[in-house]
């Protein structure tokens, strides 16, 4: 199948905007052909995951784009890197890794990307609107921009995300298309007690269950509170994207494409034959309905703790996705006047930290012994004390990746549990909310 390019896209391919843009365009075109797209789509924003150092090849790729005159064609934010550029002593890395990681981060800034260095760009002002076509990397950011903001992206990884940003184009396939954004399964959460659904601790567990149960299927969740917060939806999507491949979910009465369950399901029979690039199945019909049960949630809760029998903890880490200003406010309330007995790390964006400093939250946390990390996080670069141990977290994403990425076993609990345990130096968790 041939790809239909516009005159402008052909000019980019031929080098009209320099070698860097031409290189990026070749990669976007090759990806589109591989994916079976007939054409490209103009995007209005990008979020680049590819500034995290995994090896020298990533540095060379970014610097080659920059040397060729590559520039961001649309507003572009950057995901976490491998360094905390504001607090350089936080990361334990040798001279070569430090230098290469810095060069990789700087190369994208030199091309015009905003130095946000956060996995939650939607918390620092990068918020495309419903229906906008974008190219975002980073699994939680993809889930959030698709689901909560209602913009449209596929799962763009390293380094296709950067090429989309430089060209201002993405393959028109998958979740960019109407017919692929409708729910195919209803998740019925109406039986879950409101006392649990009102708690932040519920949402990473629900997300873990969703990812394990559905993989990359698109669900509409029925029965969550209309006042479900952005932080709760953030936690849900991050966990679902970690345990499954969830790039889009709907919440009836909450997210923009699901004013009702029926609206989220409205693709059934509405679009005729699937277009190339469509994810629709020939067997589509009446959607499945899956109840959320106490047993299912408890199984997912158990999965988030690999050290459930541990009596003590060695560290606490929160902020994956990055801590929001509202989460800083709550943490400051919980630690005020207390002293932590184990290392306690908060990972956040530099812009969010600046706001937390202005409001006095940062001073309260530092006084209690909290370490604040920006530009990166404890799971993607060496920050935790070198010895193996037990890490407690309120993050479904940290809980999922922590053991393999850090060598620490994990215990999952609420933010209140994390603070109480960090003060006591031993595990304190509230379990009764999970039984009904």
373 and 333, same structural domain?
A: yes
**pLDDT confidence of residue 284:** 53
Q: What is the CATH number of the domain that holds 321?
A: 3.30.499.10
Question: What is the overall mean pLDDT for the chain?
Answer: 94
Q: Is the pLDDT of residue 268 over 90?
A: no
What's the whole-number mean pLDDT along residues 60-71? 98
Per-residue confidence at 276, pLDDT binned at 50, 70, 90? very low
Q: Does some domain include residue 2?
A: no
> Where is the domain boundary, 159, 176, 193?
176
137 and 92, same structural domain?
A: yes
183 and 172, same structural domain?
A: no
Q: Is the pLDDT of residue 323 over 70?
A: yes
> pLDDT, tens digit, for every residue of 217-250?
999 999 999 999 999 999 999 999 999 999 999 9
Enter the tokens of residue 224: 């969550």
> pLDDT, tens digit, for every residue of 10-28?
999 999 999 999 999 999 9
Q: Does some domain include residue 130?
A: yes
**pLDDT confidence of residue 359:** 98
224 and 155, same structural domain?
A: no
Lowest mean pLDDT among 226-235, 274-283, 301-310: 274-283
Per-residue confidence at 287, pLDDT binned at 50, 70, 90? confident
Q: Does some domain include residue 52?
A: yes
**pLDDT confidence of residue 7:** 98
260 and 229, same structural domain?
A: yes
> pLDDT, tens digit, for every residue of 99-120?
999 999 999 999 999 999 999 9
**pLDDT confidence of residue 431:** 82
> Where is the domain boundary, 176, 209, 240?
176
331 and 424, same structural domain?
A: yes
What's the whole-number mean pLDDT along residues 409-432? 95
Q: Is the pLDDT of residue 70 over 70?
A: yes
84 and 52, same structural domain?
A: yes
Q: Does some domain include residue 1?
A: no
Q: Is the pLDDT of residue 279 over 60?
A: no
Q: Does some domain include residue 194?
A: yes
What's the whole-number mean pLDDT along residues 69-89? 97
378 and 367, same structural domain?
A: yes
**pLDDT confidence of residue 432:** 78
Total domains in the fold of the chain: 3
> Where is the domain boundary, 262, 285, 301?
301
Per-residue confidence at 272, pLDDT binned at 50, 70, 90? very low
139 and 20, same structural domain?
A: yes
Q: Does some domain include residue 84?
A: yes
Q: Does some domain include residue 332?
A: yes
Residue pair 296/209 in contact (Cβ under 8 Å)? The answer is yes
> pLDDT, tens digit, for every residue of 357-388?
999 999 999 999 999 999 999 999 999 998 78
Q: What is the CATH number of the domain that holds 122?
A: 3.30.499
Q: Is the pLDDT of residue 423 over 90?
A: yes
What's the whole-number mean pLDDT along residues 154-175? 97
Q: Higher confidence at residue 271 or residue 157?
A: 157
Q: Is the pLDDT of residue 286 over 80?
A: no
**pLDDT confidence of residue 1:** 56
What's the whole-number mean pLDDT along residues 295-319? 96
Q: Is the pLDDT of residue 271 over 60?
A: no
Residue pair 334/419 in contact (Cβ under 8 Å)? The answer is yes
146 and 21, same structural domain?
A: yes
Residues of the domain holding 328: 305-434
Lowest mean pLDDT among 77-86, 166-175, 259-268: 259-268
**pLDDT confidence of residue 436:** 82
205 and 159, same structural domain?
A: no
Q: Does some domain include residue 71?
A: yes
342 and 373, same structural domain?
A: yes
């Amino acid at each position: 199948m041939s790809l239909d390019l516009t005159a402008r896209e052909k000019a980019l391919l031929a080098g009209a905007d320099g070698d860097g843009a031409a290189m990026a365009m070749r990669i976007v075109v090759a990806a589109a052909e591989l994916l079976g797209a007939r054409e490209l789509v103009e995007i209005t924003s990008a979020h680049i995951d590819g500034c995290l150092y995994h090896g020298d090849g990533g540095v060379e790729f970014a610097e080659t784009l920059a040397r060729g005159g590559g520039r961001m064609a649309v507003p572009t934010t950057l995901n976490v890197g491998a360094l905390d550029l504001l607090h350089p002593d936080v990361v334990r890395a040798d001279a070569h890794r430090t230098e290469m990681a810095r060069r990789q981060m700087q190369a994208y800034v030199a091309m015009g990307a905003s130095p946000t260095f956060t996995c939650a760009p939607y918390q620092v002002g990068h918020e495309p609107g419903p229906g906008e076509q974008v190219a975002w990397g980073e699994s939680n950011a993809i889930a959030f921009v698709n689901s909560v903001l209602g913009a449209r992206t596929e799962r763009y990884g390293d380094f296709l995300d950067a090429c989309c940003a430089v060209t201002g184009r993405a393959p028109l396939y998958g979740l960019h298309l109407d017919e692929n954004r409708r729910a195919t399964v209803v998740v019925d959460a109406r039986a879950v007690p409101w006392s649990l659904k009102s708690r932040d601790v519920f949402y990473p567990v629900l997300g873990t269950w969703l990812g394990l149960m559905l993989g990359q299927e698109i669900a509409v969740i029925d029965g969550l509170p209309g006042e479900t917060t952005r932080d709760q939806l953030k936690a849900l999507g991050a966990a679902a994207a970690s345990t499954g491949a969830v790039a889009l979910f709907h919440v009836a009465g909450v997210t923009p494409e699901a004013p009702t369950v029926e609206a989220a399901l409205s693709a059934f029979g509405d679009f005729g034959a699937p277009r190339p690039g469509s994810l629709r199945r020939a067997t589509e019909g009446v959607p499945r309905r899956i109840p959320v049960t106490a047993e299912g949630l408890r199984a997912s809760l158990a999965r988030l703790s690999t050290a459930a029998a541990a009596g003590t903890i060695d560290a606490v880490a929160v902020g994956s996705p990055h801590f929001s200003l509202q989460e800083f406010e709550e943490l400051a309330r919980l630690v005020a006047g207390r002293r932590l007995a184990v290392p306690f790390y908060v990972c956040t964006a530099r812009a969010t930290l600046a706001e937390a400093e202005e409001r006095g939250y940062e001073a309260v946390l530092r006084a209690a012994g909290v370490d604040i990390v920006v530009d990166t996080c404890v799971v993607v670069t060496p920050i935790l004390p070198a010895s193996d141990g037990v890490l407690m977290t309120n993050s479904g994403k940290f809980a999922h990746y922590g053991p393999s990425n850090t060598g620490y076993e994990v215990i999952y609990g609420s933010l209140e549990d994390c603070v109480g345990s960090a003060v006591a130096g031993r595990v304190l968790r509230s379990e009764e909310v999970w039984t009904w």
